[in-house]
Amino acid sequence: MRVLKIIFFNILILFLLLCVFEVFLVIDNKRKAPNDKYHIGKLPYINLLRPERFRKPSGLNSTKQPIIILGCSFAYGWALKDEQTLGFKLSQYANVPVYNYAVQGKGLQNALFILQNKIYDNSIKNPQYVIYVMMSDHIRRLYTNVCMGDFVGYPIYKIDKYDNLTLKYDYFPFYRQFYTFYFFNNLIFNNLLYKDYKRHNRYVNAYFLQMNKEIKKQYPNIKFVILIFGDKNNFGLDLSKLEKNGFIILQTQEITGINFFNSRYQLSSTDPHPTEEVWNIIAPALADKLSL
């Protein structure tokens, strides 16, 4: 009985400490991000994917085969106007219709969910390419939220021994919606999982293979392009399996000869998102590489 009391007392102390820590994190994040709203509850992920969340398609007067873009805020064009984004620049340079389904703050899980649920314009006719714009933080997002206040997070998939992915949750479970969970989850990734390249490669390859399988159900002849923003060697990725399966792997640094991760090409010293100048350089190089 005494042992049980000691255990209960220690659990209670731990719970109270976690509550205090949660309050501290809420206050600290509110100071840094005053627009974040603290919300605990079931938030279906699909609520994020309303049409107004996506960029408007561009180049629709063209008779060429369309392009579909997937990715995060880089591909979406954080803080940029429609006409300053990759999708628009690509449509103008190559005179090709472009549909941009990138969602800010998301990643591989989001793209797979969109393709599985056909959350794109079903009137798109015979697209030539689907282009996923990948940046390094998409690895971390396989394990933890994009930021402290991201309560909706990502759809959660489980992977089996054959590397098949099945949807487990289309919303963030209750326990993942606390700041404390994000803090420790991020701590674990940065200190224990960051250089687990074998695990990262397994997940990344599985997601792309499943995405390709999903998009080909509707468009059997479409080609899948992975545009890596930066250098894939910095990710520790081995994408040779994808190349053998017909994927086209391109790197922005390789096709342009420019390292865009410096202040000249970023919105600010604290915001690494690309400026319009970046897409002015990448769009023509990408179009030429794909013979658009």
CATH code where residue 166 lies:
3.40.50.1110
Residues with Cβ within 8 Å of 201's Cβ and at least 6 positions away in sequence, in order, are 236, 237, 238
Structural domain total, the chain: 2
Distance separating the N- and C-terminal Cα atoms of the chain: 75
Task: Please report the pLDDT score of residue 164 as a whole number.
Answer: 95
Same domain for 150 and 28, yes or no, is no
Give residue 270's domain range.
41-289
Q: Are 81 and 12 contained in the same domain?
A: no
Looking at the fold, whether 104 and 6 belong to one and the same domain comes out as no
Whole-angstrom distance, CA of residue 206 vs CA of residue 212: 10
Tell whether 31 and 145 lie within a shared domain: no
Q: Are residues 75 and 175 in the same domain?
A: yes
Q: Are residues 31 and 49 in the same domain?
A: no
pLDDT digits (tens, 9 = 90+) for 9-51: 899 999 999 999 999 999 999 898 888 888 777 778 888 787 7
176 CB neighbour count, 10 Å cutoff: 18
Both 110 and 4 in one domain: the answer is: no
- CB burial class (10 A; 0-12, 13-18, 19+) of residue 113? buried
Same domain, 122 and 31: no
- More confident: 174 or 67: 67
Read out DSSP for 143-200?
TS-SSTT-SS---EEEE-TT--EEEEESB--GGGGSHHHHHHHHHHIIIIITT-HHHH
Residue 225 pairs in a beta bridge with 131, 248
Shared domain for 15 and 139, answered yes or no, is no
What's the Rg (C-alpha) of the chain?
Answer: 21
Q: What is the pTM of this model?
A: 0.94
Do 7 and 115 fall into the same domain?
A: no
Q: What's the pLDDT band for 247 if we cut at 50, 70, 90?
A: very high
Residue 231 has pLDDT above 90, yes or no: no
Are 47 and 110 found together in one domain?
Answer: yes
d(CA 226, CA 275): 20
Count CA atoms closer than 13 A to 165's CA, side-chain side: 24
Structure tokens at 238: 């081995």
- Helix, strand, or coil here: 85? coil
* Residues 132 and 82 placed together within one structural domain of the fold: yes
DSSP code for 63: -
> Which of 46-60, 76-90, 231-245 shows the lowest mean pLDDT across its residues?
231-245
Lowest-pLDDT range of 13-27, 30-44, 167-181, 218-232: 30-44
pLDDT at 235 over 70: no
